[in-house]
Structure 1
Amino acid sequence: MRIAQVSPYDLSYHGGVAAHTASLSRELSRRGHDVVLFAPRSRPQTAPDVSGLEVMPLGGSVPFNASGSVSRISVSINAARQMRRILTTERFDVVHIHEPLMPFLGATASWFSPWPTVGTFHAYSDNIHPGYLGFKPVFTLIADKLDGRIAVSNAAKAYAYKYFPDNYTIIPNGIDVPRFEKPRPKPSEFRDDAINLVFVGRVGEKRKGLRFLLGAYSTLRWRYPNLRLIVVGAGVPDRESYRMMGERGIDDVIFAGPVTDQELPAYYQHADIFCAPNTGHESFGLVLVEAMASGAPIVASRILGFEGVADHEQDALLVDVGDEYAIANAIQRLIEDSKLRNNLVRNGHEKVQRFGWAKVADDVIDYYHEVTARAPVPFVTRRRTSSG
């Protein structure tokens, strides 16, 4: 099949949707499909690996705050016109748009694609979406152009369905399981004689909940003098995290900073306990899946996006959002109970196989066939056939 993958997010910056789109494109290409990836690209370097892919760069991007995070999307009318021209003049068997209502690229592709068109809804928020409410008639018209809808989780499905009711097929985000399973050397920040807690995420985003893990750490480090907290991710701590460190005299946290995709698995693999104290606005627990694949026991918040990935007491310990004492108690349980740690790791490793690209890509391709079988014959195809 010739497949257009469309992402509104800038490939030059780290982001879950951009990484997912690039990885899916690579897997489809590896299987012999002809894939063209459309996305903004501010600079030659890309955050996700797009080597070997046919990439159609669509200009730069501008940052927007959304759901406690910063999204970099294109607002270029010229870029949208360029993509429209290609989609309407070249033949594709499937056009797959990630966030199909996102201005400008997602919405433009959804509206103008003459080919069987699939939209994947990645987003989830605990809050009301003002754009969806304010422009619901317009977005409904755009959504109705789609021939098929995918949601990456139950959380994403519920969020999309609330505004645009229809049939959504759940196909989760995928990860390269073998990459996280392959043994890696221990990063320099780790110590053999320590209990190494690890946090992975954009450090300055409040929704990642670092301040609550810092609170738990401030309690536990007096009980376990060899306890260490290693924070992996770009940015600087938010104001509340700084305040927490100052008030409680926390001066021994190791901030590893951003790491490459090649380096990341080692931090999960050598974590004695991985902690994800996120507060919400997560549609999918990608960090939990990565930790499971790497063999790390997990303590995580009980939020909808994480509950779709992890089962409490089976492959993770889930705690109430924002409860630093519950986080501390869960960490202490794992420190003291090696049998529990081993059970969580074993169960997590069994579960994570369903999120590997071998399974996820199979499901996506099956869905493409389902959509193309029922989609109407594109007008451009009928026109070219009649004129030939």
Structure 2
Amino acid sequence: MGERTMRIALVSPYDWSVPSGVNRHIGQLGTKFRQWGHEVTILAPASDPEEAEGDCVVMGRPTPVPASGSMARISFTWKGRAIESLLGEGAFEVVHLHEPLMPLLPYQVLRHSQAANVGTFHAAKDGGNRFYGYSRPLIRRWFRRLDGKIAVSPAAARLVGRYFPGYFNLIPNGIDFGHFAGEHEPLPEFDDGCFNLLFVGRPEKRKGLKYALRAFRRIREAEPQSRLIVVGAGSFRRYERIVGPDENVAFRSNVPYGELPRYHHSAHAFCSPATGNESQGIALLEAMAARLPVVASNIEGFAGVITNEVDGLLVPPKDDGALAEAVLRLRHNQDLREALAEQGQAQAAHYSWENVARRVMAYYERLLYERGQVAESQAADEEPARA
């Protein structure tokens, strides 16, 4: 894509050795940009520097801190001289920072960058962000160093815009559409005539697994030949103890990404009863790409992806009764399952990494045009969103 080669730095504040949504986003952008002939360098902290060095320039070691109901592994290491040397004059045309107001690596990069600085804001949090609120006088200077701002969803734009008003281009997270939409062999262990309901998510409170388990009890009472399959990174031991021995609830931890679509293709429906603090709903889109009908909480991050009764079903959050009722509705109505699956897959196709990366690249070109670094014919003409 494009007529010129760009030198691009992609910056993550998070531990590159630990898979995360932000790191996956950066990795996918980097892959696409390289395929198009651009030079890409990734900067990030890493808890396992030797393992990470093949993918990125390691900048410090991370420390886990609580953030939005999860744990963020960020670096507080000062790497000013190394960063100044790396970002010397002309080294990069675009420096793209993800979560650019997260300490400490992004601040150091913004201090020394001479390129067009782009920031992507991923997080959405109900009730605001205390860190932004307390530190606004100190970090406002780094926000002002951003030449361009992207938010992955309206919810993400509203969160940061509450503390740092400005214009944000809405460019969503992407998914590996082909990976989930392709042909995959179902898992034989789940091919026994049961109606399989899939949950994919980490064992964190905000993911709402307890509501899926409560709903499944109701589903089993109505339809004994049903199974709940729980897949995610991390340990589900606490939930396994709560459930006890039950052959109709299957927990699978740390499933390799390459194997994940087999679980989708072994299921008949997908549920995501998250309670909030969801920016977009990547797991939802991956399920939709796999042609699974989905039932999800009617929260802002999910409602921006799903149109109720068109490409999925939305239910009130924290309502296991409504969740069970919606799943049973799918269980009893194959025509509805097929219609939602077809429309859902069409919706998910818009979020392919090919489409997302092209929009990001077009935004780079527009910013460089404004800086006088590209011809007018190459510049994008997207309308920004006010937040």
TM-score, normalised with respect to structure 2? 0.90
User: Is 2:333 the counterpart of 1:334?
Assistant: no
Partner of 1:245: 243
Report if aligned partners of 1:68, 1:206 keep a CA contact under 8 Å in 2.
yes
Partner of 1:211: 210
**What is the one-letter code of the residue matched to 1:120?**
T
Q: Distance in 2 between matches of 1:347 and 1:57?
A: 42
> For the aligned residues, what is the CA RMSD?
1.9
1:368 equivalent among 361, 364, 368: 364
User: Is 2:13 the counterpart of 1:12?
Assistant: no
**What is the one-letter code of the residue matched to 1:69?**
S
Partner of 2:74: 73
Structure 2: which 5+ runs fail to align? 1-5, 374-387
How far did 1:91 drift? 1.4
How far did 1:375 drift? 3.1
- 1:78-93 matched pairs, under 5 angstroms: 78=79, 80-89=80-89, 91-93=91-93
- 1:102-181 matched pairs, under 5 angstroms: 102-181=102-181
Q: Distance in 2 between matches of 1:243 and 1:254?
A: 13
How far did 1:343 drift? 0.9
Report if aligned partners of 1:140, 1:164 keep a CA contact under 8 Å in 2.
yes
**What is the one-letter code of the residue matched to 1:59?**
G
Residues 155, 238 of structure 1: CA spacing in aligned structure 2 closer, same or farther, 3 A cutoff?
farther
Report if aligned partners of 2:175, 2:353 keep a CA contact under 8 Å in 1.
yes
Partner of 1:382: none
Report if aligned partners of 1:189, 1:230 keep a CA contact under 8 Å in 2.
no
Q: Distance in 2 between matches of 1:238 and 1:106?
A: 36
Residues 244, 311 of structure 1: CA spacing in aligned structure 2 closer, same or farther, 3 A cutoff?
farther
How far did 1:74 drift? 1.3
- 1:19-58 matched pairs, under 5 angstroms: 19-43=24-48, 44-45=50-51, 55-58=56-59
**What is the one-letter code of the residue matched to 1:141?**
R
Q: Distance in 2 between matches of 1:75 and 1:123?
A: 20
Residues 274, 71 of structure 1: CA spacing in aligned structure 2 closer, same or farther, 3 A cutoff?
same
Q: Deviations over 1:90-133 (max 9, x none)?
A: 51110000011110112222232111110000011013312111
Q: Distance in 2 between matches of 1:253 and 1:182?
A: 26
1:357 equivalent among 323, 340, 353: 353
Partner SS, residue 255 of structure 2: coil
Residues 376, 32 of structure 1: CA spacing in aligned structure 2 closer, same or farther, 3 A cutoff?
closer
Report if aligned partners of 1:245, 1:251 keep a CA contact under 8 Å in 2.
no
2:266 equivalent among 264, 270, 274: 270
User: Is 2:283 the counterpart of 1:287?
Assistant: yes
Residues 354, 114 of structure 1: CA spacing in aligned structure 2 closer, same or farther, 3 A cutoff?
same
Between the two proteins, the alignment pairs up a number of residues equal to: 367
Q: Distance in 2 between matches of 1:186 and 1:212?
A: 26
How far did 1:243 drift? 7.7
Partner of 2:385: none
Q: Distance in 1 between matches of 2:261 and 2:246?
A: 27
Partner SS, residue 263 of structure 1: helix
Greater than 6 Å deviation, 4+ residue runs: none
Q: Distance in 1 between matches of 2:240 and 2:317?
A: 20
* Identity of matched residues, %: 41
Structure 1: which 5+ runs fail to align? 378-388
**What is the one-letter code of the residue matched to 2:310?**
Q
Report if aligned partners of 1:212, 1:277 keep a CA contact under 8 Å in 2.
yes
Residues 314, 81 of structure 1: CA spacing in aligned structure 2 closer, same or farther, 3 A cutoff?
farther
Residues 312, 238 of structure 1: CA spacing in aligned structure 2 closer, same or farther, 3 A cutoff?
farther
**What is the one-letter code of the residue matched to 2:162?**
K
Report if aligned partners of 1:293, 1:349 keep a CA contact under 8 Å in 2.
yes
**What is the one-letter code of the residue matched to 2:75?**
S
Q: Deviations over 1:200-259 (max 9, x none)?
A: 0112x00010000100001111221110011101233486x568536xx86641111111
